Amino acid sequence: MQHDQFMRQEDMRKKNNFELEEEKRRTLQESARLDREAAVARAKAEAMGRIEQERENVEVRLREMRARMAEERKTRMEQIQAIFAGLGAGSQSLLEDRSKMTTLVGGLSVLAVGVYGARAATRVAGNLVERSMMKPPLVRETSRFSWGRDGFKGLLPFGKTQKPLMENIVLEEELSERLNWTTNSLVNAKKNGTPFRHLMLHGPPGTGKTLFARTLARQSGLDYAIMSGGDVGPLGKDAVSELNKLFTWANKSRKGLILFIDEADAFLRSGRGSESGAMSEEARNVLSAFLHHTGTESDKFVVVLATNIRDILDRAVIDRVDESFEFPLPSLKERERMLGMFMEEHIHRPTKVGKTIEVDPGLDEAFLQEVAKRTEGFSGRQLAKLVLAYQAAVFGSGTTRLTTGLAETVLQYKLAHREEDAITAASNPKADYA
């Protein structure tokens, strides 16, 4: 009984404690709710107060702005009234005095004539300056004294000397000899009183046509201009006008001008009169303009055409050419010279930032002779790319040494890549004409 009584007392104590805890919890919750409501009410009141204050500030600023604008408007109206009053008084005075009216009309007439005359004179002077000094848009590079975006051009740096024409160009002996004769005749045409003769350079890509023409243009002592046939097509209807500007500009050269047209087949290819309509009207007009400017002998300019495929040029264009030179793929002897020259330039010499390449003793003259034998059919550009690949392989491998094994690996890759290109070209014989 004592135990049961103790247990009942304990249960009552726990129950009372639980009820007390519940009451405390409800009291805390109610207190927290009241605090939240008070905080929300206080925040709303503060926000409303700030909004009301801002509204009052805006109204004050608006009233100030309206007052200022009204004052400025009043001042301007007074100024305008004063100006018109002065103009009215002056006009009335002019109308009443015929001598003043005559003087005013005469002065305005003289001023108008002067303004329009100056504008016309400026336009004429600008056209003359543009024709004499501005290079045509088709010209990419020129030695003539001209004004462009980069300022005056055409003057060689002080003390600069020209290298021999054929120093860095490797060609077969017969072709090199013919080119020397022709270039000597070309350079001395003015001195000898003979007209210039138009030239054509044709052959596979990378055989030195563009290199020779650019070297001749820069080192001939004559003015030169270099353009690309691929720049003519995008001009559309303006191509004929730009081509006429080019030849008009060329005819004004006092020394004589070498006009080198690279990729001439881009706009001088055959197609006139074809039933397929392969040549557009714009291209036909451009071809006709070119033929018109080159139809007679000239002592002002010489045209040097460069193309990979001679036969796709229009027959009339070929008829304009006085001397044609075929640049074949280099022979074994020429490949050896090219490899030696490229190795000296890209491997043995330090780079622009002073990096040097160590070369194994095995990469001697005998090695270059072997490489020349294995690269039969390579052009000069492909041989240059082979040597540049040696250089890239050295720096790409993280070393500074060109070993025999590394050179052999690069050579085998180039030979395999060339065989793939040959197979592709054989499967698509028209690719060379694209």
Lowest mean pLDDT among 51-55, 126-130, 195-199, 414-418: 126-130
User: What average pLDDT score do residues 343-351 get?
Assistant: 89
282-291: average pLDDT:
90
Query: Which amino acid, one-letter code, is at 196?
Result: F
d(CA 315, CA 310) in angstroms, rounded, equals 10
Q: Which of 116-120, 198-202, 271-275 has the highest mean pLDDT?
A: 198-202
Task: Render pLDDT for 314-342 as a digit per residue (tens, 0 to 9).
Answer: 999 999 898 888 888 888 998 898 889 88
| Mean pLDDT in residue range 126-143 | 68
Count CB neighbours of 299 within 10 A. Answer: 13
Residue 160 has pLDDT above 70, yes or no: no
Which residues pair with residue 16 across a beta bridge?
A: none
- What is the torsion angle, in degrees rounded to the nearest 10, for the CA atoms of residue 47, residue 52, residue 56 and residue 62? 80
Element (H, E) at 429: none
The yes-or-no verdict on residue 157 having pLDDT over 50 is: no
Q: Provide the mean pLDDT of the chain.
A: 81
Q: What is the DSSP letter of 313?
A: B
pLDDT at residue 425 is higher than 60 = no
pLDDT at 126: 53
204-251, pLDDT tens digit by residue? 888 888 888 877 777 777 888 889 998 898 888 888 999 999 999 988
Which pLDDT score, from 0 to 100, does residue 423 have?
A: 60
8 Å CB contact between 142 and 135: yes
pLDDT at 305: 92
Tokens of 218: 């820069």
Q: What is the pLDDT of residue 147?
A: 45
Cβ(145)–Cβ(133) below 8 Å: yes
Q: Is 60 exceeded by the pLDDT of residue 280?
A: yes
pLDDT surpasses 80 at 309: yes
